[in-house]
Chain A
Amino acid sequence: MAKTQIQPKPISITIDNKRILCDEGESVLHCALRHGIDIPHFCYHEDLPVDAACRTCLVEIAPGKVVTSCDLKVKPDLKLSTQSKAVESLRRENLELMLASHKKICRDCKRGLPCKTWDLMKKFKVTGTKYERAVIKAPVHKLGTAAELDPQACINCNKCVEICQKLGVGFLKLTGKGATSHITYNEDPCVDCVYCGQCTVHCPVAAAREQSQIEPVDEVLKHKKGRIVIAQMAPSVRASIGEEFGLKPGSNMEGQMVTALKKLGFDYVFDVNMGADITTVVEATELVERIKENKHLPMFTSCCPGWVKYVEFYHPELIPHLTTSRSPQLHSGAAYKTWWAKKMKIDPKKIVVVSFMPCTSKKYEAHNKDLKVNGLMPVDFVLTTRETGKWLKKHKINLPKLKPQKLDYEGNYTGAAAIYGASGGVMESALRSAVFFLTGKELKKVEFEQVRGMKGIKTANIKVGGKTIKIAVVFMAKNAQIIIDELKKNPKAYHYVEVMTCPGGCIGGGGQPIPTTDKIVWERIQALYKIDASKKLRKAHLNPVVQDFFENYANKLPKAKRDELLMRGYKRKKKFE
């Protein structure tokens, strides 16, 4: 019997005399933004609950009837105005009221210009000084060495609270009543921040922001005093930094970044991707050992410092299950300060390594004194993608206009490293090498489609030789918790589990450009898979730079020294530690 498919009827509404097509059930604001009609909004994010709290997305739906468009569902033949006199005056007043409570530190703002809020203030002729703000007696709260919360700048939009809850952390909350309401944290001793910085990428006014390291980086480049300054960029940054300059998500800016960084005075531009190839080799080797010995399985990845903090604070019993492999930025940073320094006959103390990361918790990781190699921190400074955008603009560099250049040789990487930024990427890279380490045979088809995509939990059984390796790939602590609970019931459910804190993996990281949405993250991810597909070498262990590093340096070290360079330990963490 033939079934007739019932198509949902498209609805059309009229905004400012322009007819647009809407999907049933969507809000007027969502539809307008989709069609490029700009309605100002602060507390709306397409992946988070609608709060209708900022009251700036106003529209007039009947003479004198002004309502918010974020919680207004589209209806057939709805006619509305975003520019009527009533809308304009009420919107301006709400903007004045809201921005009165936002401490204006525009000149030193960590977000820098252009700022969406600043643009709106100019567009609607709002100064934010019509009213004087209420006194809030709450200091700036530091989230480790990663990010910070400024109650004086908070406009109570609630987005940071919601994303923190969505991740499964629940560290942030709004507190207080009336005009003294502001952002704060959960006092519960059993709840702590994992430094992922998702609050910072969801804050419309930089009340949640990274702890900036732009100034010290500028200082080093300005007064080198004989130091050799090395830049290394994470896989995800090249696919998103263009957004800071108005490019589409997923525009690969690797070559332009090399040029920009050289222009700004870096002596060498290498890549965290080279480190990722080291990580894959170390981690895949460990995985194969653990599987052979059937010890401490499943093995969890540990390249995400947010996830590491989650384990160290919430689940210290899982510490033996974390891979002992260090993370890519630590591997490459230390490789340049040891192997490369020796090769180049440079005093390692004179080397300064700056990482460009999509992440705020990488700042926290770089500050961890337990991770020194030969008494030196592998990475000296970390700038997020957002900071990088701001910093380039500060130096009047228009990134997309630059002529691309190649990375310096020791920054070369394989396709396996390129995909580290996407959820499933670490798993896929490790599998590409682990198959070779287990069977001695090279994989012909390197793609593992099962671990790709924006699903929070992905599982698969991979046949290798005669063995089946059971794997899980998850992002967000909430999903990790589901796997942890499953493992409590069935400890043999998986051999290998990849966990990233941020939605979609590092590419959706807390240091990425604003806005970051699931849709944008997915577009950025495409760029990473494209880079992978374009590479001749797509397996980490085939990277000649990495082979040189191991054969001519790391493998010749005494065991303790080799371990210091490649491995790490973990420890139970207290709140705020």
Chain B
Amino acid sequence: MTNSILEKIKKAGIIGRGGAGFPTAAKWEMVKKAEGSPKYVICNASEGEIGVFKDFYILDNYTEKVLKGMSLAMDYLGTKHAYININANYHKRLKHKIVPALKKFKAMGYDITIYEEDPSYIGGEETTILNAIEGKRITPRIRPPFPVEVGLFGKPTLLNNVETFYDVALVDEGKFEHKRFVSIGGKAKNQGVFHLPANVTLEQALKQTQNWPDFDFFVQVGGSASGMVLNKDQLKEHPLTGAGSIEIYPADTKPRDLLMKWFKFYSEESCGKCTPCREGSFHLYELLKKHKTIPWKEIMEIVETMEKTSFCALGRSIGVPVISYRKNVLHI
């Protein structure tokens, strides 16, 4: 019986919707196999990237489905202990929905605790969530060991994104249709969160949602800070990847303004643990503030160092927007 949900997930081929796209069934099995008790389930509702707001939408509209997904994971792992790591701003706005729904699940014996996270980008990183809930400094942990084996309070822990748990609930009901949520923003005519076929191309995504601009533009996909920048002509073939978001920028967006936005974000969101990200992100922002024209050589030196030597994916990701923007839009 207990394996049936796993079989369904396997068959449906769900992947993690936090951005990394790890096969969900494989993750669940790892936690199941890991030794240690109690095991923990954590729903990641941190959503600290700019331009991504689909988890808010899901929690707002499908609160119980998400909790249902969590309860299925808890049953599968034979645990009563779970947390929702939720962006405190989200919780403020959604508590009227989440709290009553939680009560229902608690009455059924699912001990799900809300952990209100001080909104941050790093707060969504898996091992950082573990530190935060344990009351430790908000920084990522060394891997291995991976949370599936040594997670919250040293116990095997399953961490999945809000959307992943939502998908699990759909799979259980036989209603899963290989769709994913995507936030579309920026200079989009019809901003919002849309549920689209998972294999949709970016062009289809924009056209199907009436968001194809009538001006010259480029986009950033998978987060408006760490996402990849693509020009208009690349959208035909490019699938929707990473965290579900597309931001539309007019072609005349000033490069310095765009870099400002990114570097401000990175410098404010760096947790302070490792040298390249802590210092690099700060100096990137400082360099831009000091120079009217973009000091590319100096910037790329830091970007390369952050990308190649940062401790976690936050610092490492900085090359994605900067390098793709240079290549695909600025053609340098």
Contacts and interface: CB of A to CB of B under 8 A. Distances in A.
Nearest to A134: B282
A50 B142 contact: yes
B311 A94 contact: no
Interface residues of B, number: 29
Contacts of B279: 97-98, 100-101, 131, 179
A547 interface: no
Contacts of A174: 137, 272
Q: Which one of A97, A134, A176 has the greatest number of beta carbons of chain B within 10 Å?
A: A97
A101 B308 CA distance: 21
Nearest to B266: A178
A179 B272 contact: yes
Given A131-B283, A132-B286, A173-B137, A97 B276 contact: yes
Contacts of B304: 90
Contacts of A66: 308-309
A177 interface: yes
A53 B309 contact: no
B302 interface: yes
B270 A178 contact: yes
A398 to B, nearest CB: 36
Q: Which one of B269, B271, B275, B281 has the greatest number of beta carbons of chain A within 10 Å?
A: B275
B272 A181 contact: yes
A328 to B, nearest CB: 39
Contacts of A286: none
Contacts of B308: 66, 86, 90
Contacts of A101: 278-279
B283 A93 contact: no
Contacts of B309: 55, 58, 66, 68, 90, 94
Interface string B15-33: 0000000000000000000
Given A97-B283, A179-B282, A55 B271 contact: no
A357 B137 CA distance: 35
A156 interface: yes
B238 interface: no
A53 B268 CA distance: 18
17 contacts: A52-B274, A53-B274, A54-B274, A66-B308, A86-B308, A90-B309, A94-B309, A97-B276, A97-B279, A97-B280, A98-B279, A132-B286, A176-B272, A177-B271, A178-B268, A178-B270, A179-B281
Interface in A419-443: none
Interface in A103-152: 131-132, 134
B282 A178 contact: yes
Contacts of B120: 177
A270 B278 CA distance: 50
Given A97-B283, A97-B305, A100-B283, A178 B272 contact: yes
Contacts, number: 93
A267 interface: no
B180 interface: no
Nearest to A179: B282
Given A98-B275, A178-B267, A178-B271, A52 B281 contact: no
Q: Which one of A51, A68, A94, A98 has the greatest number of beta carbons of chain B within 10 Å?
A: A94
Contact of B276 (A51, A55, A156): A55
Contacts of B10: none
A93 B142 CA distance: 22
Q: Which one of B271, B279, B283, B309 has the greatest number of beta carbons of chain A within 10 Å?
A: B279
| Top 8 A-B pairs, shortest CB-CB distance | A181-B272, A179-B282, A97-B279, A178-B270, A93-B305, A98-B275, A55-B309, A131-B283
B81 interface: no
B273 interface: yes
B233 interface: no
A380 interface: no
Contacts of A51: 142, 273
Nearest to A131: B283
B310 A55 contact: yes
A564 interface: no
A71 interface: yes
Given A90-B305, A97-B283, A173-B137, A156 B273 contact: yes
Interface string A507-520: 00000000000000
Interface in A17-51: 50-51
B276 A94 contact: yes
Contacts of A94: 275-276, 305, 309
B134 to A, nearest CB: 14
A180 B268 CA distance: 10
B301 interface: yes
Contact of B270 (A98, A100, A155, A179): A179
Contacts of A177: 120, 138, 268-272
Interface in B129-176: 137-138, 142
A474 B142 CA distance: 32
Contacts of B281: 178-179
Interface in B233-285: 267-276, 278-283
B275 A56 contact: yes
A456 B282 CA distance: 43
Q: Which one of B138, B276, B278, B308 has the greatest number of beta carbons of chain A within 10 Å?
A: B278
A179 B267 contact: yes
B275 to A, nearest CB: 4
B312 to A, nearest CB: 10
Interface string A63-96: 0001010010000000000000010001001100
